Amino acid sequence: MALLTYDDVTISLDGGRKRRANLTKARIRWVIAALVLVFAVVSGRLIQLGATVSDSAIEGVARDVITATRPTLLDRNGLEMAVDIRVPSLFAEPRRIVDVEEAVAKLRTVLPDLDEDWLRKRLTGDKGFVWVKRELTPAIKEKIFQLGVPGLDFVTESKRFYPSGQEAAHILGAVNIDNQGTMGIEKHMDDEDLALLQSVGLARGNALKPVDLAIDLRVQHVLYEQLVDSLSRYKAIAAAGVMMDVQTGEILALASLPDFDPNDPSTLFMDYNGVKNQRFNRITSGIYELGSTFKTVTMAGALDSGRVKITDQYDARFGVRFGRFTIDDFHGKHRVLSVPEIYKYSSNIGTIKVMQQMGKDEFRSFLSRIGFDKSVPFELPEMRQPKVPAKFSEIVAATSSFGHGLSISPLHMVRAVAAFVNDGKMVPPTLYKRSPEEARKLYDPVISSQTSQQVRYLMRLNALEGSGSRMNKYANGYRAGGKTGTAEKVVGKTYSANKTLAVFSSAFPLDNPRYAMVILVDEPQNENPQSGHTAGWNAGEITGRIVQRVAPMLGISPDFSEVLDTELVPAALR
């Protein structure tokens, strides 16, 4: 039997160590290789996911747009006029739906108004996203969740809500199902401001600051309420009104009836008394022959030309002939009339002669100076071009002097009246808040301060002694003044004495003018057997009731002192 020597043992131990070392190194290499492989797979997957373009749109509309919010609209006192509320909307991923028939049956238990065939087609196919029902309630969302149908999901989007309902419909406008403005100030914001904000992602969440409008909801409510009352009181087919701050151009109230519910924009297209397309904004996109309210314009232009003086007198005994036509007065005095009497008695004869003294070409030029032959710069997109002949013949100039033969919007008239009482300085109207300092930079002098003072006197005189006296009965103490206009409407190719447009243009308080207003009543009837249907009986009375209620809200105190009216009389007439 052989014995192991020390050297043999040493060699054996060294060999075992080498084998274990080699085995350990091999294991480490395999572990490293495995880790490298794992990291390679993970990295490859990450690269794949990073390169994959996710579907960020639903039926062609980007999710950012769908979920974007609109700014809250506030009135001048901070009251909410339009807000966004967050609502769930249901969409489907047809490629993930296992059983279309089961999905259709279950969905219709919660949403029975969905057409079965439409829904079946909607849920069939390999599309990634399709709308099923938008703007649901949280309760409906929970019921659909309980159905457990795969391939259905929700996205939270914004829905526009108008707390005041129809009262400011034509100011605010409306939005579509994607919360994009389609009309009114909502569309203006999209066209001018919101689109840019959305493009840089600032419209998500609550990033947008509230927008302050010039509207005073208190005044808006009174105006709207009185116009609604006029439809029943005078059996009118339509009515409209607008009030403007004469110094800043801010629109405090604007309404037009018939209107629509901005919370349900489809009401815009509903018939009104069996007639289509009647729910338009009559203040901005309606153009009319505004009748004798135009005499304020004629007087302002004539007096400012220097060719007519407030002390002048004109022979109004006989009608004015143009060929075989004779223009006469409705209730003629048939005597010599002073300029204030022509205005107070609303004499067509006298107004024509005042215009002729001014000159028809200069009269036409004055209409351009006050912007009557082009659209008024304004935020609302619903505008219509006025119809004013480029050149006046003798007969066209004559009829235009008392408001026939040319058509403008009530917005044109309220802006002009505001300028006439604001020392002759015209300012563009606006629906946004504007400071007096900002407004003064925009002033455009159209008549002199002296002419403005004379026009204020004429307007107040008409309230005290003329066709505005019924208005003054209601607005007594608030020194309001204005001019009536009862224009016969064109039916076919002739004027109809039975269908008229009644208008009252006004301003108050005339001792320190603050606000101008135009009220329009379409085809008014007698309120009772003792009343009439001319503008003083309806548009005039509406104006008086509005002034009576809103003047105290606007910080105007009643003052019954006759001294205030005396101070309005021009020095030449005292």
User: What SS3 state is found at 96?
Assistant: helix
Residue reference for tokens 């690269």: 47
- Region of 359 please: left (phi>0), alpha (psi -120 to 50) or beta: left
Upstream peptide bond of 436 is cis (omega within 30 degrees of 0): no
Specify the residue for token string 């519910």: 261
133: left (phi over 0), alpha (psi -120 to 50) or beta: beta
Count of alpha carbons within 13 Å of 7, Cβ hemisphere only? 0
**426 Cβ partners below 8 Å, 6+ apart?**
370, 371, 415, 416, 418, 419, 443, 444, 445, 446
**Percent helix / strand / coil, the chain, rounded to 5:** 45, 20, 35
Residue with tokens 């309220």: 414
| CB neighbour list of residue 195: distance below 8 Å, 6 or more residues apart | none
Q: Does residue 292 carry a catalytic annotation?
A: yes
- Phi, psi dihedral angles at 193 (to 5 degrees): -130, -55
- Out of 292, 407, 409, 467, pick the active-site residue: 292
Q: Which of 247, 303, 290 is nearest to 457 (CA)?
A: 303
Report how far residue 448's alpha carbon sits from residue 450's, in angstroms, rounded to the nearest whole number. 5
CA–CA dist 352, 340 (Å, integer): 14
Q: Which residues are catalytic?
A: 292
